[in-house]
Amino acid sequence: MKVAVIGAHGKVARLLLPVLVDRDVQVSGIVRKDEQGPFVRQVGGEPVLLDVEHASTEQITEALRGVDAVVWAAGAGGGNPDRTYAVDRDAAIRSMDAARAAGVGRYVMVSWIGSVPEHGIPEDAAFFPYADAKLAADDHLRATDLEWTILGPGTLTDDDPTGAITVLGEQDDMPTGAASRVPRADVAMVAAEVLRTPGTAGRFVRFTGGGTPILEALR
């Protein structure tokens, strides 16, 4: 399998790449800066320089030709609403259209646990542009004929991985406080597992840290 990871230098992606390489996956790591390429090569992937924020659908399509699956792990990082919409919504949507044009079958989106219409984030809240942008991108993905999976992790931490999670139903209330947390390393493991778990296609997987081994939880 060959997987393109968009946003390959992000915090989750940096943990995901070596996991995929260890599983004999060919990794194409899409990065926006030259200086980010050496990390991708160091862990065994092949860096591809492309600023998806400003790239056209056609340019992204060319970068995705020949891959079997795409993982979207890019993000604007908050702080600037215009850039949040440009990356987390617009560029993400272009990447989905590009994946279809390139003949890619599988698409995994790293989103967040509250990506539902009733997310409850007020429009005047600083977090609203992110919630709004992610929901728009996720809904666009749901409407495609890609074999998509949307990952909805809770509050991300830099704690050591546990290899276990709790999966929530799509209608379950969002947990708060410590109950909402999940290590980024476990999010990376979930992304790696869904790529080889066909039964997760067409699912919005909402999860936090927990006590069920990841593969068991996904099944």
pLDDT at residue 179 in the model: 86
Q: Report the share of the chain in percent with pLDDT over 90.
A: 91
Paired residues of 47 in beta bridges: 29
The residue type at 85: Y
pTM of the model: 0.96
Q: Which residues pair with 212 in a beta bridge?
A: 165
Please give the positions annotated as active site.
130
Report which residue type is found at 41: R
Pair of tokens at residue 30: 């899409």
Which CATH architecture fits 2-218?
3-Layer(aba) Sandwich (3.40)
What pLDDT score does 173 carry?
82
What secondary structure does DSSP assign to 72-101, as a single string? E-----SS-HHHHIIIIIIIHHHHHHHHHH
- For 119-145, b/e burial (b = at least 16 CB within 10 A) is beeeeeeeeebbbbbbbbbbebbeeee
Between strands 46-49 and 212-213, the pairing is: unpaired
| C-alpha distances out from residue 82 to 26, 88, 128, 133, Å | 34, 10, 12, 10
Beta-carbon count within 10 A of 20 CB: 26
Question: How would residue 174 be classed by pLDDT, with cut points 50, 70 and 90?
Answer: confident
pLDDT (tens digit, 9 = 90+) per residue, 67-120? 999 999 999 988 799 999 999 999 999 999 999 999 999 999 999 999 998 888
30, exposed or middle or buried, with CB in 10 Å at 0-12, 13-18, 19+? Answer: buried
pLDDT digits (tens, 9 = 90+) for 41-62: 999 999 999 999 999 999 999 9
- Per-residue pLDDT at 178: 84
Domain ranges within the chain, ordered by starting residue: 2-218
For residues 89 and 56, give the distance between their C-alpha atoms in angstroms, rounded to a whole number: 14
